[in-house]
């Protein structure tokens, strides 16, 4: 027997209409490329989204067309999210940090019709213009007064909006209609496109909303440092409007000093981003001897949050939520909101739990598989590859039958490529990316564990553990590290510091000092680059 309830499509356009009505006072506050800070409420935003939607129709955008963005976090980028997806087109966010080769590949692969670009990134497109489709059109996201000279024959964003009606009838379509496209950074081979639907995006927004609602009050200000050009800024542009948060959009100034200033000035309550960003902010907090006013909550994800970072934030009264996810998961998989019994633990034990990747979001199923393809117990000990399943997880990749055929197993589970364990309380620990695990003498060593402990050494500011080939042991761990001060600690000293947590054979064979660690387009430490950089390196006992 079927239930007798209405079935309304879950559409992205509903989110902003709701926010404009229910949270009319909340604002989007943006650091603009024009150099000032801009503010507008959700009702004002909705009116501009209507104008933009009309303009897009005028430019011939149709259901299913891909419309790309190459932009920082700001209100115009937010408007594009809603105007494009609201009319059934696909918002293709492009990461400006990609190589020219990858950019050319994805614009051609996505068959974008239009690209909306911030003034900052105009040179990137000009440099590759000849390799992009001839009929592609460009819109620069600024007003006439700030339009840069360009060879793109580009339209002006604000001019597109002028004189457009401040109303628009959103078309009603199937909730499974594609809404967003984000390519994975792809460390090998070509990038692959995760194609989100209206339904998956709305469900993900509600899922993230549940998580946010536990620690962020209505009317609080939320700062997505995580870019709108990478996995929809973890869903914040969809979840925060539901909860009545004001959004503080940082534009392009993401260094510690600028972030501190913005957070302090705008009284940001909660800020979200990858660990490298928080390293910068923590440096500035240390310099100033205080945290930004109102700063109470930080979400760290994208790569493992170092234990030391969690400890430092928690000591200054900033609640840390450690989240894990993937582009293919919209991206939230697990989150670090902890039950009361964890908060009540002695400080060090509480930090230990927060260094894990937290519990699954409702709607995301997790399973761990051993080498024989058997499910292992969630006992905190058994380790294997993590598989995920749910309404916010890809079933395949855009226009890529080969990768799609391998995306999920026979029961619809997506293999994450992460090696993990889950304990009796449902708390996930990511041990490593499977390709980053270090295999020594038939035993695995977690690079994340090595990094966490090494980074707690006062002489080490940042580090990455990578495997180096060894004829006898297969691989041996080596630390590539950035010194915290002028004095670089000796390897013996680092071993003494680490030996409390590791067996002797697990300790790194060497430390290589560098000025800075290479980062990927999404701000994570690039172990691939490190492995290439040190391809000719020889371990001390082989020299």
Q: Which residues are catalytic?
A: 184, 328, 439, 444
By CB under 6 A, the count of residues binding ligand AMP is 20
- Give the relative orientation of helices 256-266 and 275-288 as an angle to the nearest 10 degrees: 70
Pick from 85, 303, 446, 447 the residue near ligand AMP by CB under 6 A: 303
DSSP 179-234: EEEEE---SSSS--EEEEEHHHHHHHHHHHHHHHHHHS-TT-EEEE-S-TTSGGGG
- Spatial CA neighbour of 314 closest among 287, 277, 349: 349
Determine the Cα–Cα distance for residues 109 and 191; give it in Å rounded to an integer: 10
Binding part of the chain for ligand AMP, among 108-116, 257-265, 302-310, 366-374 by CB under 6 A, reads: 302-310
Site membership for ligand AMP, residue 324 (CB under 6 A): yes
Tokens 């943006």 belong to 30
The nearest distance, CB 302 to ligand AMP, in angstroms, is: 5
Q: Which residue is nearest to ligand AMP (CB)?
A: 327
The nearest distance, CB 286 to ligand AMP, in angstroms, is: 23
Pick from 215, 240, 357, 446 the residue near ligand AMP by CB under 6 A: 357
Site membership for ligand AMP, residue 86 (CB under 6 A): no
Determine the Cα–Cα distance for residues 537 and 189; give it in Å rounded to an integer: 25
Residues 6+ apart with CB under 8 A from 221: 29, 245, 246, 247, 248, 266, 267, 268, 269, 270, 294
Nearer to ligand AMP, 119 or 447 (CB): 447
Nearer to ligand AMP, 231 or 479 (CB): 231
Site membership for ligand AMP, residue 327 (CB under 6 A): yes
Pick from 331, 477, 489, 523 the residue near ligand AMP by CB under 6 A: 331
Nearer to ligand AMP, 281 or 326 (CB): 326
CA distances to 407, 450, 501, 518 from 456, in Å: 37, 10, 12, 20
Please, how many CA atoms are within 13 Å of residue 101, restricted to the half-sphere of its CB?
5
Site membership for ligand AMP, residue 429 (CB under 6 A): no
3-state secondary structure of 459: coil
Site membership for ligand AMP, residue 121 (CB under 6 A): no
Pairing of strands 193-197, 221-224: unpaired
The nearest distance, CB 100 to ligand AMP, in angstroms, is: 20
Nearer to ligand AMP, 98 or 323 (CB): 323
Phi and psi of 518, rounded to 5°? Answer: -70, 140
Nearer to ligand AMP, 28 or 517 (CB): 517
**Burial classification of residue 470, based on how many CB atoms lie within 10 Å of its CB (0-12 exposed, 13-18 middle, 19 or more buried):** middle
- Spatial CA neighbour of 48 closest among 155, 143, 167: 167
Site membership for ligand AMP, residue 326 (CB under 6 A): yes
Site membership for ligand AMP, residue 278 (CB under 6 A): no
Binding part of the chain for ligand AMP, among 202-210, 289-297, 299-307, 375-383 by CB under 6 A, reads: 299-307
Pairing of strands 27-31, 246-249: parallel
Nearer to ligand AMP, 54 or 303 (CB): 303
Site membership for ligand AMP, residue 302 (CB under 6 A): yes
Binding part of the chain for ligand AMP, among 33-41, 295-303, 400-408, 468-476 by CB under 6 A, reads: 295-303
Considering only residues 180 to 219 of the shown chain, the ones binding ligand AMP according to CB under 6 A are 184-185
Nearer to ligand AMP, 221 or 378 (CB): 378
Site membership for ligand AMP, residue 319 (CB under 6 A): no
What are the residues binding ligand AMP (CB under 6 A)?
A: 184-185, 231, 301-304, 322-327, 331, 357, 416, 418, 430, 433, 522
């Amino acid at each position: 027997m079927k239930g007798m309830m209405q079935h309304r499509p879950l559409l992205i356009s509903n989110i902003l209409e709701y926010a404009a009505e229910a949270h009319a006072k909340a604002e989007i506050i943006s650091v603009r490329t024009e150099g000032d800070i801009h503010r507008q409420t959700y009702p004002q935003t909705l009116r501009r989204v209507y104008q933009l939607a009309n303009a897009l129709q005028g430019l011939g955008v149709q259901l299913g067309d891909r419309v790309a963005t190459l932009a920082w976090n700001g209100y115009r980028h937010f408007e594009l999210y809603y105007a494009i997806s609201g009319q059934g087109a696909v918002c293709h966010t492009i990461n400006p940090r990609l190589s020219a080769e990858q950019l050319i590949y994805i614009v051609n692969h996505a068959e974008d019709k239009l690209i909306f670009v911030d003034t900052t990134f105009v040179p990137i497109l000009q440099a590759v213009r000849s390799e992009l489709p001839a009929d592609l059109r460009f819109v620069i996201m600024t007003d006439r007064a700030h339009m840069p000279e360009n060879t793109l024959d580009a339209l002006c964003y604000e001019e597109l909006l002028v004189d457009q009606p401040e109303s628009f009838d959103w078309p009603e379509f199937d909730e499974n209609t594609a809404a967003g496209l984000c390519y994975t950074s792809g460390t090998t081979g070509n990038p692959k496109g995760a194609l989100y639907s209206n339904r998956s995006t709305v469900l993900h927004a509600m899922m993230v909303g549940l998580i946010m609602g536990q620690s962020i009050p209505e009317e609080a200000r939320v700062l997505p440092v995580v870019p709108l050009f990478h996995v929809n800024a973890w869903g914040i542009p969809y979840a925060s409007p539901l909860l009545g948060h004001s959004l503080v959009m940082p534009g392009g100034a993401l260094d510690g000093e600028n972030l501190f200033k913005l957070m302090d000035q705008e009284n940001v309550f909660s800020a979200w981003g990858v660990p490298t960003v928080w390293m910068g902010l923590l440096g500035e907090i240390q310099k100033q001897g205080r945290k930004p006013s109102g700063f109470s909550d930080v979400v760290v994800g994208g790569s493992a949050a170092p234990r030391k970072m969690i400890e430092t934030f928690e000591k200054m009264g900033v609640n840390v939520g450690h989240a894990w996810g993937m582009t293919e998961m919209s991206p939230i998989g697990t989150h670090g909101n902890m039950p009361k019994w964890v908060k009540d633990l002695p400080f060090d034990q509480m930090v230990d739990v927060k260094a894990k990747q937290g519990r699954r979001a409702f709607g995301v199923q997790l399973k761990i598989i051993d080498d024989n393809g058997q499910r292992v117990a969630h006992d905190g000990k058994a380790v294997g590859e993590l598989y995920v399943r749910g309404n916010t997880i890809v079933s395949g990749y855009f226009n890529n039958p080969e990768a799609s055929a391998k995306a999920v197993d026979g029961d619809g589970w997506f293999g994450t490529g992460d090696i993990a364990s889950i304990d009796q309380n449902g708390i996930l620990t990511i041990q490593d990316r499977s390709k980053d695990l270090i295999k020594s003498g038939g035993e695995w060593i977690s690079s994340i564990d090595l990094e966490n402990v090494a980074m707690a050494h006062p002489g080490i500011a940042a580090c990455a553990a990578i495997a180096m080939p060894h004829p006898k042991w297969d691989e041996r761990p080596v630390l590539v590290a950035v010194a915290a001060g002028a004095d670089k600690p000796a390897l013996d000293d680092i071993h003494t510091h680490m030996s409390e947590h590791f067996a002797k054979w697990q300790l790194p064979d060497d430390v290589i000092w560098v000025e800075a660690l290479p980062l990927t387009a999404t701000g994570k430490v690039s172990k691939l680059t490190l492995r290439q950089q040190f391809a000719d390196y020889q371990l001390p006992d082989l020299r």
